[in-house]
Every structure is written in C-alpha cells, then in structure tokens.
C-alpha cells in the first residue's frame, strides 16, 4: 500500500513539473553556483548571447583570467623569453615539454610569425599534465605537425593558466 502511494506521489510530482511554464525559472530562483559547466549544453552560451558587461573579471574565478606562465619557444626548443617556465625539453621532432611550478588548467598557443613554412603547418595541439613529459602533473606538452601530419619543428608562443 505504501509503495502505491509513493508511486502516485512520484508520478504527480513529475506531472506538476511538466506543467511549469516556459521561461518561468529565472535568475532569482537559482542558487549561487548551481549552474555549472557540465549542466550547460554545448554552444548554449556564446558571446552573441551575452549582454555587454555580463562577464567581468570580478565575476570569474581567480585562475580564469590570469596567465600564470608564458613563453616564446624557438623551433629548436629554446626559450627566448618566458615567465613561470622552470624547464623545457624537446624529446622529438615537433614535440616540446614545458615544466612549470604549478599544475596547469589550460594553455593557448600560436605560431611564431618569424618561423619558416608557417603555411605548411597544421594547428598546434596542447596537452596539460602529460604523463609523457617530465614533471607530471606540472607540465604542458606541445605537438606540431606539417601539412601531411608529420611532426614538424616550429617556433611558437604559449600562455598557460
């Protein structure tokens, strides 16, 4: 008998939830930090959907806006300028390992425009906390390939947070 009552309560609650009017839940009904990245559908939030001034540095977590390390790396794997990088190795063609004093959350790279054959280079791939580099988890691994997908040495810039 109790299980039948529980079934009706459960079904009734679902029916009630199904009758909530569209757009009836707004900002005032949401608890702080209740909407996380894993609850947002891909491409649901884009710059075109955000009002001017909606996202400011004060509204973001501290590491989101800060660059904790950066470097200019030559195709030979030498640092020509950097901050926050403790060491760099180049274990193979097109492979670079940057060691850090912290565990990185993300990295952004771009090619050094002074390099040669940039037109014949595929996008750079970056892996944070790579087990294939020394100093895991405090590292970033950079992969560079040419137009046919073969590993290629190219100079690049990197920003890490």
pLDDT given at position 6: 56
Per-residue pLDDT tens listing for the chain (161 residues)? 565 555 555 555 555 555 667 777 777 778 887 777 777 777 777 767 777 777 766 666 655 558 899 999 999 999 999 999 999 999 999 999 999 999 898 888 888 766 555 565 666 788 888 888 888 889 999 999 887 888 889 899 999 98
pLDDT at position 35 is 78
- Residues 136/129, Cβ–Cβ less than 8 Å: yes
Q: Tell me what pLDDT residue 2 has.
A: 61
Looking at residue 93, its pLDDT comes to 94
Phi/psi for 3 (5° steps) reads -65, -35
pLDDT at 57: 64
Q: Which of 129, 103, 119 is nearest to 152 (CA)?
A: 119
pLDDT at 121: 65
Task: Note every long-range contact of 28-35, with CB atoms under 8 Å and residues 24 or more positions apart, other chains counting.
Answer: none
Residue 9 in tokens: 């309560």
Write down the pTM of the prediction: 0.58
Return the pLDDT at 65. 58
The reported pLDDT for the residue numbered 71 is 95
Determine the pLDDT at residue 44: 74
Q: What is the mean pLDDT of the chain?
A: 79
CA nearest to 161, candidates 69, 79, 72: 69
């Amino acid at each position: 008998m109790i299980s039948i009552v529980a079934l009706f309560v459960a079904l009734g609650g679902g029916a009630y939830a199904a009758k909530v009017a569209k757009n009836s839940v707004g900002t005032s009904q949401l608890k702080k930090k209740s909407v996380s990245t894993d609850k947002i559908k891909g491409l649901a939030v884009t710059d075109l959907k955000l009002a001017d001034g909606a996202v400011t540095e004060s509204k973001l977590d501290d590491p989101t806006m800060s660059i904790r390390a950066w470097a200019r790396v030559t195709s030979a794997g030498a640092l020509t300028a950097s901050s926050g990088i403790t060491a760099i190795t180049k274990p193979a063609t097109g492979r670079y390992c940057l060691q850090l004093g912290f565990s990185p959350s993300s990295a952004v790279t771009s090619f050094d425009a002074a390099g040669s054959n940039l037109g014949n280079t595929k996008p750079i791939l970056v892996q944070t906390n790579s087990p294939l580099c020394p100093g895991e988890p405090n590292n970033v691994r950079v992969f560079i390939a040419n137009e046919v997908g073969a590993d290629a040495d190219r100079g690049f810039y990197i920003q890490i947070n």
